[in-house]
Structure 1
């Protein structure tokens, strides 16, 4: 079974969550807990780095939609970066590219 590894890097009130592995029914709880720890640390900007994520299913999308709702309600900037072509396509066909801030490497803002 492929696992999900999370590494959290904090820079003032901006937290980047570097992810490695797969996000699916077995690992999505881990992602949810990682996001919740960012909120508990009073982050005003949460960045999810998908650079080493090779696969994500609908369970992972559900966690991200929940995160989007939470961050909007609490005024937290929420960004996704470094999605591979397969993940970009998944976000595109589900319409999430229209509601989520998705950037390529080096594009994330400091604001």
Structure 2
């Protein structure tokens, strides 16, 4: 398990077999983007991994956080590697809907 925490954000990765789940907690914004990138960078390039981001405990995401998610989606799609987003809180789902990115995560939004 790998954890990157500060007072308002944490990203904790858990590896089980060939699946890596990254649990986001708190507020993902410009100030913590480097922390999030640091956790995700080694995982995104591993095409053998099934990569899942669990947002159940995420309270807020800004455009920087959304941009990182989209770059991960693009990279994983280019490698034909699995990338799922699970347990998106209602307030973040509304933001995804308003910005038009919900369609990219639509198949995964209510997966458990």
Q: TM-score range by the shorter chain?
A: 0.7 to 0.9
Match of 1:32 in 2: 37
- CA offset at residue 39 of structure 1? 3.0
Where does structure 2 lack aligned partners over 5 or more consecutive residues? Answer: 1-5
- List runs of 5+ in structure 1 lacking aligned partners: 107-111
Root-mean-square deviation over aligned CA pairs? 1.8
Q: Please point out which of 4, 15, 18 is paired with 1:13.
A: 18
Q: How many residues align?
A: 106
> TM-score, normalization: structure 1?
0.84
Q: How does 1:1-111 map to 2 (within 5 A)?
A: 2-100=7-105, 101-104=107-110, 106=112
CA contact (8 A) 1:15 1:47 kept: yes
TM-score with structure 2 setting the length: 0.83
C-alpha distance in structure 1 between counterparts of 2:46 and 2:33, whole Å: 20
C-alpha distance in 2 between matches for 1:4 and 1:60: 12
Following superposition, the deviation at residue 3 of structure 1 comes to 2.3
User: Does structure 2 retain, via aligned residues, the 8 Å contact 1:15–1:43?
Assistant: no
